[in-house]
Amino acid sequence: MPNFPASAFQRLTGLQSFPQPAIIPTHLPVVMMHGFGIGGSFRRGGHLHEQAMYLRMRGVRAYAPNVSPYNTVRARCQTWKHHIEHVLHETGADAVSLIAHSMGGLDARFLISQMGLHDRIGALVTIATPHRGSELANLVLQQPDAVRSWMADMADWLGTHIIENGSANSLQTVRELTPSFMTHSFNPNVPDHPNVHYWSYAGRAGRDTEVPLTPLLRYFNAYLYEREGCNDGFVSVESAKWGTFKGVLDADHIRQVGMDAGFGGADFDANTFYADVALDLADVGL
């Protein structure tokens, strides 16, 4: 056998003495909740599946179920509640933590406040959730009737076919994402529960930043910047702030869930981010 120095042999073989990543010791299972739209549905497992599998590799009992992507908060929450009850039954846990992206954060708030799950949720972490709505919803509603109807018909067809037992009501959903609806209806009627931790993150890219933006979002980013300031292409930084604000991610709305639409160019690791969120939950005993 060649007489290699130990260090040289290790470099050749690539072996490490302890190669497995550190376990993240979360106490509660984690349910990851996706937002509006179909982007992640074309990936194996759907929205946030890859991130959930990464967390499982780190020891977190993570789940990323899917609900109808183009339906209202109230309608989606019926399915979310069923999924959470399944997780509680399967794990034997008394409660779960929720990590919710975009509209999923509104779903989570509704589940806690209006569907009696406040005693089954330890924490809610929202990422780029439009807590104060998005002017992009008004942009859609301002389109000519024929264009708006075509967009709604296409979204509703996708929403009913892309997921088992799917349903859709895309136009009503868009109406409920306007700043006016969120400010005057949703937020006053969906108060935070004092026994639940509420944390939030915002995202930024494009205008007024040095963060690369997925080209598909350029028009939306510019439109929203003129009306709400710095944003991630769909949700402004100010709209995303809720509860304890944890910071701004240098990633647009698409890259926050591990997608780059084939364009690359951004230095953001979604798996690492969600692992850091899980570490924060573990640090407070959740």
Residue 232 CB neighbour total at 10 angstroms: 33
Alpha-carbon distance of 79 to 108, in angstroms, equals 12
Asked whether 133 and 181 are in contact (CB, 8 A), the reply is yes
Please tell me the predicted confidence (pLDDT) of residue 151: 84
Domains: count for the chain: 1
Please tell me the predicted confidence (pLDDT) of residue 17: 79
Average pLDDT over residues 90-116: 97
Q: What is the full DSSP assignment across 92-158? A: --S-EEEEEETHHHHHHHHHHHHSS-TTTEEEEEEES--TT--HHHHHHHTS-HHHHHHHHHHHHHH
Q: Is residue 47 part of a domain?
A: yes
Q: Is residue 133 part of a domain?
A: yes
Q: Which two tokens stand for residue 162?
A: 């892309």
Q: Is residue 28 part of a domain?
A: yes
Tell me the whole-structure pTM to 2 decimals. Answer: 0.91
Alpha-carbon distance of 84 to 65, in angstroms, equals 9
Query: Does residue 199 have a pLDDT over 70?
Result: yes
Distances, alpha carbon 64 to alpha carbons 85, 168, 253, in Å: 14, 20, 18
1-32 pLDDT tens trace: 556 565 655 565 667 778 788 899 999 999 99
Average pLDDT over residues 148-173: 80
Query: Does residue 263 have a pLDDT over 60?
Result: no
Q: Is residue 261 part of a domain?
A: yes
Q: Is residue 9 part of a domain?
A: no
Q: What angle do CA 125, 23, 66 make, to 5 degrees?
A: 45
CATH number at residue 198: 3.40.50.1820
34-45 pLDDT tens trace: 999 765 444 556
Q: Which two tokens stand for residue 140?
A: 């859609």
Domain hosting 165: range is 24-280
Please tell me the predicted confidence (pLDDT) of residue 167: 79
**Secondary structure class of 214 (helix, strand, coil):** coil
Alpha-carbon distance of 42 to 69, in angstroms, equals 12
